[in-house]
Structure 1
Amino acid sequence: MAKTVFISSETIESAIDDLKMVEFCGKRATEAHHLFLYFLLRRAGVSEYDYITDSQFKQDEVREEIWEAMFELGALYNPYFEIGLKYCCFPFSGFGFLKQSEEKWSSDLFYNKATPICRKEYPYRNINLVNRVFDSLDNAFVDKGLAYSNRNDGSKSYRFKQDVAHEISKQFRKRFPLRSFLLWINRYKRFDEFFQSKDIWNFLKMDFLKRYHLEQRELDSLFEPTGVQHISFADEPIDGSRVRSVLNLVDKPEIFPLADEGRTLMFDALTREDFENLTTGEAYLVNEDHLFILLEKYHQVILQGVPGTGKTYMANKVSERFDKVFKVMFHPNYTYQDFIVGKTMQNFSVIPQEGLLLRVIKECHDEDKGKVLLIIDEINRGHLASIFGETIYVLDRCNEVRIAFGDEEINLSLPDNLYILGTMNTSDRSIALVDFAIRRRFAVVTLYPDYELIDSASKVIGTDSPILGKLLKKINSRIVQETKSEHFQLGHSFFLKPAGSQWTLDEVREVLALRIAPMVEEFVMADVQKLRRILPQNLFVDQNAQSYLNDLQEYIENDD
């Protein structure tokens, strides 16, 4: 068994000290529950658009997810050596109130004071505790951040109100330090020793986003990118008594030693495979070096992202490392006959004609064969079932299929020296068509807008500080607000020019009017009111430089 390690006690204690500095400033102590409940419900899959019914809430798999979230957020005991009974809380919800009331402990602040988080006879977990979450929704959260409706069968369904994360953030004097929060929820997680040599901040962030079903805008509302800067590891997890001591909660929780025979590993260790799978899938900070390594490892990679994030640029850069490169752009009229096998007339006879994939495979088998790259641009624009037909199974690499080639049948498989790189526009509404057919057969890398790149590379004449990165970030924020989807955004290339070039305000206005506005209009399906809320008319008005710059600054700084 591979050696596992834990985040060190010193690192966790520093994180707790950081989190304690975020003061609760809500009007009522019961509002301190909202952040805790918000995370639990997000873990269950509830969003502004996705409901959960009371019957779904009672399903075992949902209750397991919520219990695990409760443990991560609020358990005050070391599960490897202790059993925690009463008092499961998210302690950082109430520190401001504790300071104001000059108390060390107030059970009213904490979610559970009646039902044990675990049971002595079965110390692993007490799923019945989750029932108390559901019982408290109507009393603690409905009308504050949660909306519900009565269904025809007599049950209720719940969803979040719009911008609930932003509203919850107002209950605290400042946002939570993200890095310290990530350390807190992973305080008892086991890590493969592989993690000791890696920068794992991005992994921890993406793991949190994935497991709690959060979007970046929610993360930005609740957290700031600060906190503990360095992670150290140790052979043992932080002792539960140290956690309770740093939190000034030494005597109140019901914590008991756990007999040796009752001990459990609690959660599976996070492994190198987890690291690679997650950082390969979501928000991987990739450059051409990383992309080349991924292609060598997986043979098939999709670069996805919103328009202007550099997908084509990245594909062209990595193609320089291959011996032969083929390119094709899929579109709605591209067919099996174009890609696999077609027909043509020759000497008044119909004969089979090799499609692009067969020609590429033939090149791979040449005597001087090297590494061959096939770039499929806009892979989601084609009708993949029609283009690949039965040959989609060869993408599994271990499969060989027989296909008709005229009057004969031939075996088709993908050679080891063939690599496939697809690009995909996530704002394209046809993207869902590829989810099952392609995604499981490709490593998927997501490129995101890089606002810092814009600010470091693009300067507007007449300004003292960078504004174009902030401008694009504001535009994207409003797009997400209006479309309710992070898939509809714009990338950094809209505001990048050749190195050393500067922007005039006229050029900024021109890009907004001729390149960005048409894209936004498509995102909002020509809804003029939404378009105007995203891009006000004064951003397109021809006026003197100072007036236009003032309008840009006001737009950027306006609190949506």
Structure 2
Amino acid sequence: MAKYLSTDSIIQSLKYLNKDEMSNASIFFIFLVMKRLGITKISFVNQDILKEGLPFIFNLGSIYSPQENAPKNNNFIYPFANQYLKGSPGESIEKWASGRLKNNVLGGATTWRPLVNEDTATKKLKFSFQYVEEIEKLCIKEKKVNILALAIWSARFDEFNEEMHEDLFVKAFKQLYKISNDEYENLFFVDKEGLSLHFKEEKPDYVEIRKFIDNGSVMGDEWYEVENLNKEKQIMSSDTAGIKMNQHKVKNLTEDKLLELFDISHQIILSGPPATSKSFIAKSIGSNFKKVFHMQFHPQTSYNEFIGGYKVNGSDVEYKEGVLLKIINEINDDGNPSHRYLLIIDEINRTNLSQVFGEVIQCLDRDYSVRLTTKNNESVNFSLPKNLFIIGTQNSSDRTLGSMDFALKRRFLKVNIYPDSDLLLSLCSGQDNMNSILSNLLHKINENLLQTTKNIDFQIGHALFLDTDEVDAEGKFVWTYSKLEKIFNYKILPIVIDFCYNDFSLVDEVLGELSQLLQGEEFQLTIEAYVK
């Protein structure tokens, strides 16, 4: 069932954006449009890119939904203007986007000269080196812009599959508008007080929102009430329009996408740091197969165990079929090529794969067959059924394990699975917004690990926080600071120390005071300070 932001939540976001007067609201509005267009201070881009800003102007300012037949004038606002309509352009959104946006930026206005560098010879532009400082000076008075309120307002036209946490709104907005750390620290802040995020099954009442914007003083009923269009305006038909939050199932790989990859190859490897749900993702598609087989490789896994070979049994030496041969025999006995089978091999890189697969490596292409010597020294033709699919999982952070040679690598698709801190927002609960604490903690640790070790595989997995005995009525994992203290000090901290090669100066860079095995109230206060 589709869900939408409630009318009250949208109006509350506008109230917050309008609570503190902003100077030069048009400059901040245009700045956000330019950010969405990908303009930076690093490299010049063609000036004509400004003409492509219409969908983002609509997303930030329109007071009519894509399904409504908006009037020609007064159809969008600067949401942080002190007086919405009086402080916003009276012309149409299309006219403002087609000409005024570019004219404001490049028309020689003195307010924009410190913000933009223009190469008149090539007709290119970029932000100036000190643009953040200049925008802060021009637009921000006593209070920065509440990015949560702005993210909620920007999602007023969006359809959601499920309710979302406030932190996801902020993260999605920062990603879509490419908000840098410097911009975030100087121009934005987050305040959840007075903002309640509610979802409903019916679309927001945009008439009610317009009445709030007008406050009954300027416009009439014909401005409030408009006809619906038969289909959405072309302005919003592009995939780039609308904030479209990252509604999360498995951020790295969905079940449908994983199944689609089997159209390209019969073999896939899910690779990533420990506790990133690789095995969970592999098992999640099991219902699409007639049968799922599962095994785990280890350093002693051999060709004889996987394919087959002679083994000593007391005083006898006899041939034993390996796991793969038994699976193939079962598939052949079924005899129905439309029945699909799946073999999941966990820790696939914990052994010498070339030795374990042997001559069967060629058969992974499905167009080859080889001769195998079986019991009684019989030579049999061997090939892999086309209805057998293989998923291997591997720990990418453990460099002591076996590696794949290129003959094997080229026969497997490789999908990198990385930690997903957003999962903890929807799957965890507990005291004092513990889901936000856990999500922000994991995000910051991994961010610091990446900056310190320069190794993307040295990260903490989200599944470490999805393994508690206590769950609430909604099936969420319940956390307390006492439980977190034990997991952190005796599981997460040792992993970080290993990632930093026992260099405690690096550990301190990653964890700060949390590297000191803190306990009780001191641990809680330090965690809260760290995630802020």
TM-score, structure 2 normalization:
0.56
For residues 422 and 30 of structure 1, what CA distance do their matches in structure 2 show?
56
Match of 1:550 among 508, 514, 521: 521
* 1:364-417 deviation digits (Å, cap 9, x = unpaired): 333388874322436799999xx99xx99x99xxxx8523536999876631xx
> Is it true that 1:82 corresponds to 2:70 in the alignment?
yes
SS in 1 for 2:368: strand
- Structure 1 residues 125-274: aligned runs within 5 Å: 126-128=97-99, 131=102, 135=106, 171-172=143-144, 176=148, 180-181=152-153, 183-186=155-158, 199=162, 201=164, 212=176, 222=190, 224=192, 227-233=196-202, 243-248=209-214, 264=233, 266-268=235-237
Matched letter for residue 526 of structure 2? Y
Given that 2:298 and 2:350 are in contact with CA atoms closer than 8 Å, whether structure 1 keeps it comes out as yes
Identity %, equivalent residues = 16
Given that 1:175 and 1:224 are in contact with CA atoms closer than 8 Å, whether structure 2 keeps it comes out as no
Using the TM superposition, give the Cα deviation of residue 33 of structure 1 relative to its aligned residue in structure 2, in angstroms.
4.7
For residues 184 and 420 of structure 1, what CA distance do their matches in structure 2 show?
43
1:403 match: 368
For residues 163 and 428 of structure 2, what CA distance do their matches in structure 1 show?
25
> Is it true that 1:55 corresponds to 2:45 in the alignment?
yes
1:73 match: 60
Using the TM superposition, give the Cα deviation of residue 67 of structure 1 relative to its aligned residue in structure 2, in angstroms.
2.5
* 1:448-488 deviation digits (Å, cap 9, x = unpaired): 553786665xxxxxxxx679867755642432553568984
1:540 match: 516
For residues 18 and 272 of structure 2, what CA distance do their matches in structure 1 show?
37
SS in 1 for 2:293: strand
Larger radius of gyration: 2
Given that 1:454 and 1:469 are in contact with CA atoms closer than 8 Å, whether structure 2 keeps it comes out as yes
2:293 match: 325
For residues 232 and 463 of structure 2, what CA distance do their matches in structure 1 show?
51
For residues 496 and 128 of structure 1, what CA distance do their matches in structure 2 show?
56
For residues 247 and 211 of structure 1, what CA distance do their matches in structure 2 show?
28
Unaligned runs of 5+ in 1: 120-124, 346-353, 457-464, 542-546
Using the TM superposition, give the Cα deviation of residue 70 of structure 1 relative to its aligned residue in structure 2, in angstroms.
1.5
For residues 548 and 207 of structure 1, what CA distance do their matches in structure 2 show?
31
* 1:282-317 deviation digits (Å, cap 9, x = unpaired): 279x9xxxx7x9988987998787643554467679
For residues 15 and 503 of structure 1, what CA distance do their matches in structure 2 show?
28
Q: CA RMSD in A?
A: 7.0
SS in 2 for 1:325: strand
Distance 1:140 1:322, change over 3 A: farther
Distance 1:172 1:32, change over 3 A: farther
1:519 match: 495
For residues 98 and 381 of structure 2, what CA distance do their matches in structure 1 show?
57
For residues 483 and 280 of structure 1, what CA distance do their matches in structure 2 show?
25
Given that 2:297 and 2:349 are in contact with CA atoms closer than 8 Å, whether structure 1 keeps it comes out as no
Using the TM superposition, give the Cα deviation of residue 327 of structure 1 relative to its aligned residue in structure 2, in angstroms.
2.8
Distance 1:223 1:32, change over 3 A: farther
SS in 2 for 1:414: coil
Using the TM superposition, give the Cα deviation of residue 13 of structure 1 relative to its aligned residue in structure 2, in angstroms.
4.0
Distance 1:138 1:355, change over 3 A: farther
Using the TM superposition, give the Cα deviation of residue 233 of structure 1 relative to its aligned residue in structure 2, in angstroms.
3.4
Given that 2:6 and 2:198 are in contact with CA atoms closer than 8 Å, whether structure 1 keeps it comes out as no
For residues 128 and 361 of structure 1, what CA distance do their matches in structure 2 show?
67
> Is it true that 1:14 corresponds to 2:8 in the alignment?
yes
Using the TM superposition, give the Cα deviation of residue 74 of structure 1 relative to its aligned residue in structure 2, in angstroms.
0.8
Distance 1:520 1:318, change over 3 A: same
Using the TM superposition, give the Cα deviation of residue 556 of structure 1 relative to its aligned residue in structure 2, in angstroms.
2.1
Distance 1:324 1:32, change over 3 A: same
For residues 345 and 26 of structure 2, what CA distance do their matches in structure 1 show?
51
1:44 match: 37
Matched letter for residue 375 of structure 1? I
Unaligned runs of 5+ in 2: 311-320, 373-379, 472-477
TM-score, structure 1 normalization:
0.54
Using the TM superposition, give the Cα deviation of residue 494 of structure 1 relative to its aligned residue in structure 2, in angstroms.
5.9
Given that 2:3 and 2:162 are in contact with CA atoms closer than 8 Å, whether structure 1 keeps it comes out as no
Given that 2:420 and 2:461 are in contact with CA atoms closer than 8 Å, whether structure 1 keeps it comes out as no
The count of aligned residue pairs is 463
Using the TM superposition, give the Cα deviation of residue 532 of structure 1 relative to its aligned residue in structure 2, in angstroms.
1.0
Distance 1:172 1:551, change over 3 A: same
For residues 38 and 201 of structure 1, what CA distance do their matches in structure 2 show?
23
Using the TM superposition, give the Cα deviation of residue 552 of structure 1 relative to its aligned residue in structure 2, in angstroms.
0.7
For residues 448 and 160 of structure 1, what CA distance do their matches in structure 2 show?
33
Distance 1:549 1:90, change over 3 A: same
Matched letter for residue 476 of structure 1? L
Distance 1:140 1:343, change over 3 A: farther
For residues 153 and 449 of structure 2, what CA distance do their matches in structure 1 show?
29
Matched letter for residue 293 of structure 2? V
Given that 2:272 and 2:396 are in contact with CA atoms closer than 8 Å, whether structure 1 keeps it comes out as yes
For residues 278 and 24 of structure 1, what CA distance do their matches in structure 2 show?
28
Distance 1:517 1:212, change over 3 A: same
* 1:164-191 deviation digits (Å, cap 9, x = unpaired): 9xx99993586635884364143xxxx7
For residues 357 and 242 of structure 1, what CA distance do their matches in structure 2 show?
65
* 1:30-70 deviation digits (Å, cap 9, x = unpaired): 378547634651x3356xxx8763325645xx854x43122
